[in-house]
Structure 1
Amino acid sequence: MASSSSYTIVLLMLPLLLLASSLIPAYAGNFYQDFDTTFGDGRVRILNNGELLTLSLDKASGSGFKSKNEYLFGNIDMQLKLVPGNSAGTVTAYYLTSQGPTWDEIDFEFLGNLSGDPYILHTNVFTQGKGNREQQFYLWFDPTADFHTYSILWNPQQIIFSVDGTPIRKFKNMEANGVAYPKNQPMRIYSSLWNADDWATPGGLVKTDWSQAPFTASYRNFNANACVWSSGTSSCDSKAQSTNNGWLTQELDSTGEERLRWVQKNYMIYDYCSDSKRFPQGFPPECNNTQRN
């Protein structure tokens, strides 16, 4: 567990982070303009003049959407309110991915629960079609009671997953150690709500309670401060754009690193780099703590 002093510092900071995450930015995206439906027919609903989107899941189908734009690096925020009540068997996925057999991908996946149990936040990073880099967390709040901000900072140096401004995971560029890094393939933002009760509950033994359907997840306040990729060209190549892209070189400061350690000590429930049964011949090279931190 974290020391009492660092724990107190972070607890004092969390209300400020939650307040900041609840403020609606003037540049928030519009779901009509920024996204297309991928599946689900009428189960994808855009409301409030494009400011709110909902996905629904019933026994016949789930639903999903994707961004109209492709991005090659970005600082991307989305506020989500997850499926409430008995959501066991449902998965709400929010991620970046490219296409093809050697795709790159950066994942948030929210695994539903029996009423009263915590959601599991599942994260993963794929590079050139290779994943198996799972880290899982509980959250320090009820993600179904209100909207919270889930962010991906993806730049040439590292990927940082954050929740309400608090970093929970960092994946560094370790190409020098033979670890592939997603830097050449543009990715779109995708999200979906679907049934995965064959694996997303303990042993796949708990099945989705369809009497609770339709299950609904809600989205708002999308913002992508990002390099839009079009016809082989990045918007960040222009001088006008480059002056507003400090996030392209952003790293965690000492406060961010302390918050990251606090989350990982208190809320991480699985780290592939600690699973010796899975890697009896030795951990992947990116698990080297000297390089990882």
Structure 2
Amino acid sequence: MTYIISEIASAHNGKADNLKKLIDASINSNADAVKIQIFKTENLLQKKHKNYKLFKKIEISQEKIFNILKRVSDKKIDLILEPYDFDSLKFIKKIKKFHSIKIPTSDTKNLKFIKEASKVKKKIFLGIAGLKLNEIKKIINMLKKNQLNLVHGFQSFPTKFLDTDVSRISILKKIFKKQVCYADHSDSENLGICYSLCSLAIINGASIIEKHITLNRKNKGPDYHSALNPNEFKNFVDFFKKYELLIKNKKFKLSNAEHIYSTIFKKYPLASRDLEKGTIINEKDIKFKRIDANKKNFLIDNYYELLGKKLLEKKKCDTPFFKKNFK
């Protein structure tokens, strides 16, 4: 079954109450995991960086995050933590129960950080956007002792359709023999594109799908371009939990719905004229029409089963043939 991650990122906009609501929405959606980014602005950006003040505004203190995450440990959802600096990496070690750690794409050149992250002894999600194959291979070699998933996808607010390059997923799986997560950052105002890309990702071998969640996209908070509202996210999860049943079925088997469709819409052989008892049925005695769906028990629906058969009783024009009508 496809593993689905609810990516909160900074959709909380720096408010602890919003983070709680987003976690609850993720749990209610029946997603498999919820991912939370943790950072200290002074360790992430230069003070003269144009977004320094913005990040400082949306930063939630480690103390508040710690208290909030206590609520998740007993819930039926995996917790994935994504630390963006050494201080945050040290902090997550204090959290007793969490499922995995995400190494951000921004730290894939920071080999010291990767080495330290490997010591957490948790499953690792590795962001590989912007990395060449030899660079990915180097990091994988560093993480040999860790269970590792590769994360394909990047944020372009939103990422354009062709830039997602979901076909690369099959290449990554073939070369590195790792599970691949597709992190979708397409325009959430176009749900058709969003669903299509995630579907293509699964067909190309992605076993994990990550999608941003927000409380209300109209508020245009962080990452709103590619985020789904809670009701949309729940529908998204429901769809992709069922979607896999369609593509994984290797048997040719008709569904109940298809049987019903066939019963209602197919045509049955009827008498093309009034037929006398003892008539030997030939082609001219048969015509095909749809009939009342409630009267199909013991009907003969096969043309060749009728030819040459002798009627035991009269048959009126435009009435179906039953097995009891023949010897």
Considering the TM-score relative to the shorter chain, is it more than 0.5? no
TM-score, length-normalised on structure 1?
0.28
Higher relative contact order (CA 8 A, sep 6+): 1
Greater C-alpha Rg? 2
Higher strand proportion (structure 1 or 2): 1
Higher helix proportion (structure 1 or 2): 2
